[in-house]
Amino acid sequence: MNIKNGLICVLIVAILSLCTFNSVAAAPVSKQTPDIHSNYAADVRGGQQTYLITTLNFGNATTVTMWVGQYVWLTGVLSSTPPTSWCDTSHGIANKTVNIQNMNSDGKTWSTVATRSTGNDRNSGVILVQLTPKAAGVYTYRMIYYGDSQYAPAVSNVVTLTVTNVAIS
């Protein structure tokens, strides 16, 4: 394991141990309907129900303002029950591929910008992506799991980054 992967693992374990202090209540949602109170959306087309929550910077933020050159963590969890926060791994689904998508400039279509495998063991279901936008603008992201023979597809809530050319004081 290289140093970067080791540091990320240590960071995940530290954050997961603190997660009980940073959770939100989750409520059931209907088919493909984002629930702003629980930060996830569910898709019930078939297989075992799945839920996918997306937040920014290891918290419950769905919007962040930053400047060019900064980085932000896009965080998520794929779960078989409604998660209480992005780090609720009590029912996390391990070893599944999740696509990270960005809204295109047309405002109508999504493009996959990265794929990640959900964690296993203690961080089961967790997705972490470091984003470093190279230009000012508004960036909209979501995560999508296409499902398989056991689990139904799921689409996360949307998160937004506003990136400026100057440092924010």
129 near 101, Cβ under 8 Å? no
pLDDT at 33 exceeding the cut of 80: no
CATH number at residue 105: 2.60.40.10
Residue 169 maps to a domain: no
Residue 75 maps to a domain: yes
- What pLDDT, on a 0 to 100 scale, did the predictor assign at position 34? 40
> What's the structural domain count of the chain?
1
Helix residue spans in the chain (DSSP H): 3-18
Reduce the DSSP state of residue 106 to 3 states and report it.
Answer: coil
Taking the CB of residue 162, how many other CB atoms lie within 10 A of it?
15
- What pLDDT, on a 0 to 100 scale, did the predictor assign at position 157? 93
| Confidence at 11, pLDDT banded by 50, 70, 90 | very low
Which of the two residues, 7 and 30, has the higher pLDDT score?
A: 7
Cα within 13 Å of Cα(105), Cβ side? 1
pLDDT tens-digit map of 99-149: 999 999 999 999 999 999 998 877 789 999 999 988 999 999 999 999 998
Residue 155 maps to a domain: yes
CA distances from 156 to 13, 80, 86 (A): 23, 13, 11
The answer, as to whether pTM is greater than 0.75, is: no
Domain span at residue 39? 3-164
Task: Give percent above pLDDT 90 in the chain.
Answer: 45
- What pLDDT, on a 0 to 100 scale, did the predictor assign at position 169? 57
